[in-house]
Protein backbone atom coordinates (compact mmCIF):
# COMPACT_ATOMS: atom_id res chain seq x y z
CA UNK A 1 0.00 0.00 0.00
CA UNK A 2 1.40 3.40 -0.90
CA UNK A 3 2.17 5.21 2.33
CA UNK A 4 2.35 8.96 2.74
CA UNK A 5 6.02 9.25 1.70
CA UNK A 6 5.33 7.32 -1.53
CA UNK A 7 2.28 9.45 -2.33
CA UNK A 8 4.35 12.59 -1.77
CA UNK A 9 7.08 11.21 -4.06
CA UNK A 10 4.45 10.61 -6.79
CA UNK A 11 3.17 14.17 -6.29
CA UNK A 12 6.62 15.70 -6.59
CA UNK A 13 7.42 13.70 -9.71
CA UNK A 14 4.18 14.69 -11.42
CA UNK A 15 4.63 18.30 -10.32
CA UNK A 16 7.82 18.45 -12.38
CA UNK A 17 6.13 17.21 -15.56
CA UNK A 18 2.39 17.94 -15.58
CA UNK A 19 1.81 21.69 -15.08
CA UNK A 20 0.92 23.24 -18.42
CA UNK A 21 0.07 19.90 -20.03
CA UNK A 22 -3.34 19.79 -21.73
CA UNK A 23 -5.59 16.72 -21.78
CA UNK A 24 -6.53 15.72 -25.31
CA UNK A 25 -8.22 12.34 -24.75
CA UNK A 26 -9.33 10.09 -21.92
CA UNK A 27 -9.91 6.34 -22.14
CA UNK A 28 -11.54 4.58 -19.20
CA UNK A 29 -10.56 0.93 -19.50
CA UNK A 30 -12.20 -0.13 -16.24
CA UNK A 31 -15.35 1.78 -15.25
CA UNK A 32 -15.14 1.06 -11.53
CA UNK A 33 -11.85 2.98 -11.35
CA UNK A 34 -13.87 6.20 -11.68
CA UNK A 35 -15.46 7.44 -8.46
CA UNK A 36 -17.39 10.41 -9.88
CA UNK A 37 -19.06 11.22 -12.23
CA UNK A 38 -19.86 8.24 -14.47
CA UNK A 39 -16.97 6.88 -16.52
CA UNK A 40 -18.57 8.25 -19.71
CA UNK A 41 -18.91 11.74 -18.21
CA UNK A 42 -15.36 11.56 -16.83
CA UNK A 43 -13.99 10.77 -20.30
CA UNK A 44 -16.03 13.61 -21.81
CA UNK A 45 -15.36 16.32 -19.18
CA UNK A 46 -11.60 16.03 -18.67
CA UNK A 47 -10.30 16.76 -22.23
CA UNK A 48 -9.41 20.39 -22.87
CA UNK A 49 -8.34 21.05 -19.28
CA UNK A 50 -4.73 21.83 -18.47
CA UNK A 51 -2.92 20.82 -15.30
CA UNK A 52 -2.03 23.78 -13.09
CA UNK A 53 -0.84 22.37 -9.76
CA UNK A 54 -0.74 19.15 -7.74
CA UNK A 55 -1.35 19.01 -4.01
CA UNK A 56 -1.69 16.21 -1.49
CA UNK A 57 -4.23 15.90 1.29
CA UNK A 58 -3.42 12.80 3.28
CA UNK A 59 -3.14 10.04 0.69
CA UNK A 60 -5.23 11.90 -1.90
CA UNK A 61 -3.55 13.60 -4.85
CA UNK A 62 -5.46 16.74 -5.82
CA UNK A 63 -4.67 18.01 -9.29
CA UNK A 64 -5.81 21.54 -9.99
CA UNK A 65 -7.06 21.96 -13.54
CA UNK A 66 -7.81 25.00 -15.65
CA UNK A 67 -11.15 26.72 -15.13
CA UNK A 68 -11.25 25.82 -11.44
CA UNK A 69 -11.90 22.12 -12.03
CA UNK A 70 -9.91 19.33 -10.40
CA UNK A 71 -8.87 15.71 -10.60
CA UNK A 72 -8.65 13.77 -7.34
CA UNK A 73 -6.79 10.45 -7.16
CA UNK A 74 -6.51 7.89 -4.39
CA UNK A 75 -4.04 5.09 -5.15
CA UNK A 76 -5.35 2.82 -2.38
CA UNK A 77 -3.42 -0.46 -2.12
CA UNK A 78 -1.85 -0.98 -5.53
CA UNK A 79 -2.57 2.08 -7.68
CA UNK A 80 0.15 3.84 -9.68
CA UNK A 81 0.29 6.91 -11.88
CA UNK A 82 2.79 6.62 -14.71
CA UNK A 83 3.80 9.27 -17.23
CA UNK A 84 4.98 7.65 -20.47
CA UNK A 85 5.41 8.44 -24.15
CA UNK A 86 2.25 7.97 -26.20
CA UNK A 87 1.98 4.44 -27.55
CA UNK A 88 4.28 2.90 -24.95
CA UNK A 89 3.42 -0.69 -24.13
CA UNK A 90 0.60 -0.67 -21.60
CA UNK A 91 0.42 -2.89 -18.56
CA UNK A 92 -2.47 -5.34 -18.26
CA UNK A 93 -3.39 -3.40 -15.11
CA UNK A 94 -3.94 -0.09 -16.94
CA UNK A 95 -7.35 1.23 -15.88
CA UNK A 96 -7.39 4.82 -17.21
CA UNK A 97 -5.30 6.38 -19.99
CA UNK A 98 -5.11 10.19 -20.18
CA UNK A 99 -3.47 11.36 -23.41
CA UNK A 100 -1.82 14.77 -23.31
CA UNK A 101 -1.36 17.13 -26.26
CA UNK A 102 2.43 16.94 -25.84
CA UNK A 103 2.41 13.27 -26.82
CA UNK A 104 2.74 11.95 -23.27
CA UNK A 105 0.24 9.70 -21.53
CA UNK A 106 -0.71 9.67 -17.87
CA UNK A 107 -1.73 6.13 -17.03
CA UNK A 108 -3.52 4.95 -13.92
CA UNK A 109 -2.61 1.33 -13.19
CA UNK A 110 -4.22 -0.62 -10.38
CA UNK A 111 -3.75 -4.35 -9.97
CA UNK A 112 -6.39 -4.73 -7.25
CA UNK A 113 -8.86 -2.14 -8.60
CA UNK A 114 -9.30 -0.35 -5.28
CA UNK A 115 -7.95 3.03 -6.43
CA UNK A 116 -10.25 5.76 -7.73
CA UNK A 117 -10.21 8.94 -9.81
CA UNK A 118 -12.76 11.72 -9.43
CA UNK A 119 -13.39 14.67 -11.74
CA UNK A 120 -14.33 17.70 -9.63
CA UNK A 121 -16.17 20.42 -11.57
CA UNK A 122 -15.41 24.08 -10.97
CA UNK A 123 -17.13 25.49 -7.90
CA UNK A 124 -17.44 22.13 -6.11
Catalytic annotation present for 121:
no
Q: Coil, strand or helix: which one is 95?
A: strand
Provide the whole-model pTM: 0.93
Catalytic residue among 2, 21, 105, 109: 2
Is residue 51 within 8 Å of 18, Cβ to Cβ? yes
C-beta atoms surrounding 16 within 10 Å: 9
76: left (phi over 0), alpha (psi -120 to 50) or beta: left
What band does 72 get if pLDDT is binned at 50, 70 and 90? Answer: very high
**Residue 40, Cβ density class (10 Å: 0-12 exposed, 13-18 middle, ≥19 buried):** exposed
pLDDT per position as a tens digit, 3-46: 878 899 999 999 999 999 999 999 999 999 999 999 999 999 99
Catalytic annotation present for 19:
no
Is residue 54 within 8 Å of 62, Cβ to Cβ? yes
pLDDT per position as a tens digit, 92-114: 999 999 999 999 999 999 999 99
The confidence score (pLDDT) of residue 27 equals 97
Amino acid sequence: MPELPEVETVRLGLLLALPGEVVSKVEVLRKDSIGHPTSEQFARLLPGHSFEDIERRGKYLLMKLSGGAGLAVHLRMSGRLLLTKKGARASKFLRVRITLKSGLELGFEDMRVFGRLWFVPAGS
